[in-house]
Structure 1
Amino acid sequence: MFHAPNVFQRAPLPSATRESEPRRQGTTTATAAPPAPVANKPPAGAQAKQRDAYFDNVKYLAIVLVAVAHAWEPVMDGSRTARALYMVAYTFHMPAFVIISGYFSRSFDLSAAKVKRLVTGAAVPYVVFETAYSLFKRYADGSPNQPISLLDPWYLTWFLAALFIWRLTTPLWQVLRHPLPVALVIAVLASFSPSIGDDLDLQRVLQFLPFFVLGLQLKPEHFQLIRRGEVRMLALPLFAAALVFAYWAAPRMQLGWFYRNNSAQEMGAPWWSGAVMTTAMFGCALLLTIGFLSWVPRRPMWFTVLGAGTICGYLLHGFLIKGAGYAGVFDSYDWLSAPAGLVLVSLVAAAAVTLMCTPPVRRVLRVVTEPEMNWAFRRDAAGR
Structure 2
Amino acid sequence: MSAPTPESAPAPRPAKQRDAFFDNAKYLAIVLVAMGHAMEPLRSGSRTVTAVYMFVYAFHMPAFIVISGYFSRNFDASPAKIKRLVTGIAVPYIVFETAYTLFTRWTDGEPDRAITLLDPLYLTWFLAALFIWRLTTPVWRIVRMPLVVALAVAMLVTLSPTVGKDLDLQRTLQFLPYFVLGLILKPAHFQLVRTRRARIAAVPVLLAGLLVAYWAEPRMNYNWFFHRTGAENLGAASWTGPVMTLALFGCSTVLVAAFLALVPRRRTWFTALGAGTLYGYLLHGFVIQAANHWHWSAHAWTHRPLGEIAATLVAGSVVTVLCTPPVQRVFRFVMEPRMDWAFRRESAKPAEPVKSADAAGPAGPARPAGAR
Q: TM-score, normalised by structure 1?
A: 0.88
Decide whether the 8 Å contact of 1:95 with 1:285 is kept in 2: yes
The residue number in structure 2 matching 1:350 is: 316
Distance 1:341 1:181 in 2: 44
The residue number in structure 2 matching 1:275 is: 242
Partner residue of 1:339 out of 305, 311, 332 = 305
Spell out, residue by residue over 1:297-332, the C-alpha distance to the aligned partner (whole angstroms, 9 max, x if none). 00000000000111110001111111111112112x
Decide whether the 8 Å contact of 2:164 with 2:228 is kept in 1: no
User: Match of 1:110, SS?
Assistant: coil
Query: What are the residue-to-residue correspondences of 1:110-129 with 2, within 5 Å?
Result: 110-129=77-96
Q: Stretches of 4+ moved more than 3 A in 1? A: 41-44, 381-384
Residue 104, structure 1, aligned to residue 71, structure 2: yes
Distance 1:353 1:243 in 2: 24
Query: What are the residue-to-residue correspondences of 1:42-61 with 2, within 5 Å?
Result: 42-44=11-13, 46-48=14-16, 50-61=17-28
The residue number in structure 1 matching 2:32 is: 65
The residue number in structure 2 matching 1:229 is: 196
The residue number in structure 2 matching 1:370 is: 336
Residues 150 and 36 (structure 1), Cα distance of their counterparts in 2 relative to 1, 3 Å cut: same
User: Match of 1:73, SS?
Assistant: helix
Q: AA paired with 1:51?
A: R
Residues 43 and 78 (structure 1), Cα distance of their counterparts in 2 relative to 1, 3 Å cut: farther
Distance 1:383 1:336 in 2: 64
The residue number in structure 2 matching 1:21 is: none
CA displacement at 1:132 relative to structure 2: 0.4
Distance 1:338 1:65 in 2: 20
Distance 1:234 1:191 in 2: 33
The residue number in structure 2 matching 1:15 is: none
Distance 1:101 1:84 in 2: 27
Gaps of 5+ in 2: 351-372
Decide whether the 8 Å contact of 1:231 with 1:291 is kept in 2: yes
Partner residue of 1:158 out of 119, 125, 145 = 125
Spell out, residue by residue over 1:64-114, the C-alpha distance to the aligned partner (whole angstroms, 9 max, x if none). 000000110011212111111111110000000110011000000111110
Distance 2:192 2:33 in 1: 25
User: Match of 1:94, SS?
Assistant: helix
Spell out, residue by residue over 1:275-298, the C-alpha distance to the aligned partner (whole angstroms, 9 max, x if none). 111100000000000000001000
The residue number in structure 1 matching 2:355 is: none
Spell out, residue by residue over 1:2-44, the C-alpha distance to the aligned partner (whole angstroms, 9 max, x if none). xxxxxxxxxxxxxxxxxxxxxxxxxxxxxxxx976267x6544
Distance 2:129 2:48 in 1: 31
The residue number in structure 2 matching 1:264 is: 231
Decide whether the 8 Å contact of 1:92 with 1:288 is kept in 2: yes
The residue number in structure 2 matching 1:196 is: 163
Residue 284, structure 1, aligned to residue 254, structure 2: no
Residue 304, structure 1, aligned to residue 274, structure 2: no
Residues 42 and 330 (structure 1), Cα distance of their counterparts in 2 relative to 1, 3 Å cut: farther
Distance 2:87 2:141 in 1: 23
Distance 1:290 1:197 in 2: 30
Distance 1:329 1:61 in 2: 25
Distance 1:150 1:70 in 2: 23
The residue number in structure 1 matching 2:139 is: 172
CA RMSD of aligned residues (A): 1.6
Larger Rg, first or second structure (1 or 2): 2
Distance 2:281 2:253 in 1: 22
CA displacement at 1:381 relative to structure 2: 7.7
Aligned-residue sequence identity (percent) comes to 59
**Which shifted more, 281-290 or 228-237?**
228-237
Q: AA paired with 1:355?
A: V
Residues 381 and 112 (structure 1), Cα distance of their counterparts in 2 relative to 1, 3 Å cut: farther
CA displacement at 1:335 relative to structure 2: 1.7
Distance 1:279 1:35 in 2: 63
Q: TM-score, normalised by structure 2?
A: 0.90
